[in-house]
Amino acid sequence: MAVRQGTRFICTRIRWTLPHLRAASLLLFGLAVSLLVLSAPLAPVSGTQAGQPATPPAASPVRCDIPLQTEIDDTDGATPIASPEASPVAAAATPAAEWDATAGDLDRLARTLAVCLTEGEYETAARLVTPAYRGLLLATGEELDRETFVAVAEGLTDTPLTIRSVSDVQTERDDRATAEVVSVVANQLVRARWTFELVGPETARPRNADGEREANRRWVVADAEVLEVEPPAGAQEVEVTLVEYEINLDPAEVEAEAVVFNVENNGELDHEIVVLRLEGDATADSLIYQPGPALPEGLTFAGQLNIAAGEEATMTLVDLEPGDYAVVDLSPDASGVLNLSRGMGATLSVDDPER
């Protein structure tokens, strides 16, 4: 998903007990999931091909498995069916039926990957992506074999991932395509352009990246590039100002299910904001006293954003339930002291807009 939001959050939580390789978050699967560094400059929107609308959500519930490529049947009135003997997609002058099948395959793969990651089925998820993408998901910067990916992913805090849309599918050649994917990771809205590669019989990659021969032709996720998010209608903006060592929110109370955080780092150090839903008597201070990768009871991860010194960035959270949310900086200084322990935290109250 090039989505590296959450990396420093989980890194901070696990640095107490786990090696550096586990310094990652499932939030990265947004993409892509993937996913995808929101603190980096945002990429412009890719051009949309005429006559190629967004693909609809899958008609039937998606489950965690290995989806195969859809066969193109040239018979008039025929309906595409799943088959391991499908032909690769033509790069030029792609027929409408063939494009529809490709778009449907990529849509199904994205939603399947989301289900696998959400349900913690990391063995299957590892087979749906390339080793390079596994490293992207876990923010290691290196290719990861399947065994290492599964071992690291199983030690992280589960984070739900939902695919909202897969659109603007573009075939670059017979074994490579891209699509714009909009997803929600925890509560964070993520938009990215995913790159897909075709593997299997009669393709340029008869063996997958793990060196195993593929019996069936199928797509895998290979890369992702973050795009700017378009906030939903009715989203309320909150101005967030960071300094050493304070987080100021304006306003600190909203009445909306979607919130856009406009963050400005006026400090001399790099900072982050981590948004956590507070339930019951839970407080963000428990993060200081309870080390380890798991969140303390009563805290639920909602979103995260890194902001370099002197820079500005935005983050959009959606589907927020009424209640209080801690907005904190969990990055440590050179001595390992969390900025939160220095007082770098604030509380955002989300009221019911229909109340």
Summarize pLDDT for 217-239 with one digit per residue, the tens: 999 999 999 999 999 999 999 99
The rounded mean pLDDT for the chain is 80
Summarize pLDDT for 227-284 with one digit per residue, the tens: 999 999 999 999 999 999 999 999 999 999 999 999 999 999 999 999 999 999 999 9
- Report in angstroms the alpha-carbon separations of 263 from 118, 210, 330: 28, 41, 16
**Residue 302 to residue 347: CA distance in whole angstroms:** 13
Residue showing tokens 């060592």? 245
Please report, rounded to a whole number, the percentage of residues in the chain having pLDDT higher than 70: 75
Looking at residue 79, its pLDDT comes to 41
Q: Please, which pLDDT band fits residue 28 given cuts at 50, 70 and 90?
A: very low
Tokens of residue 33, six digits: 């999931």
In this prediction, residues 82-108 reach a mean pLDDT of 65
Residues 6 or more apart whose Cβ sits within 8 Å of residue 7: 23, 24, 25, 27, 28, 139, 304, 306
3-state secondary structure of 12: helix
Query: pTM (2 decimals)?
Result: 0.79
Summarize pLDDT for 291-330 with one digit per residue, the tens: 666 788 999 999 999 999 999 999 999 999 999 999 999 9
DSSP 182-216: EEEETTEEEEEEEEEEEESTTSS-SB-TTSPBPSS
Looking at residue 355, its pLDDT comes to 65
Q: Is the pLDDT of residue 80 over 70?
A: no
Q: Is the pLDDT of residue 78 over 90?
A: no
Contact 132, 124 (CB under 8 A): no
